[in-house]
Amino acid sequence: MFEEIKDALVKQLDLDPDTITPEAELVNDLGVNSIELADLIMSCEDKYDIEIDDDDIKNFITVGDVAEYLSKTIA
């Protein structure tokens, strides 16, 4: 799941793949802003046919947080 999130960040936000690790913070390390995060969330919802609650999004600090959430949700 991490690799899929990493690919989405590279494609959607034109980020350097070498900077994206499970521990990388979306905002502080990768510079993802709120609009970019919303776009990432929407693409995940579309791809996996799920709805991600706003309260859950608040817990998405690192790339690993997103990957872990999706792994549990779509399992």
- 24 vs 47: CA distance, rounded Å: 23
Q: What is the pLDDT of residue 52?
A: 97
pLDDT for residue 25 is more than 90:
yes
pLDDT digits (tens, 9 = 90+) for 48-58: 999 999 999 99
Supply the pTM of this predicted model: 0.92
Domains, the chain, in order of start with CATH, read 2-73 (1.10.1200.10)
Q: What is the pLDDT of residue 63?
A: 98
Q: 3-state DSSP: the chain helix, strand, coil percent, rounded to 5?
A: 60, 5, 35
Q: How confident is the model at residue 75 (pLDDT cuts 50, 70, 90)?
A: confident
The average pLDDT across 36-41 equals: 95
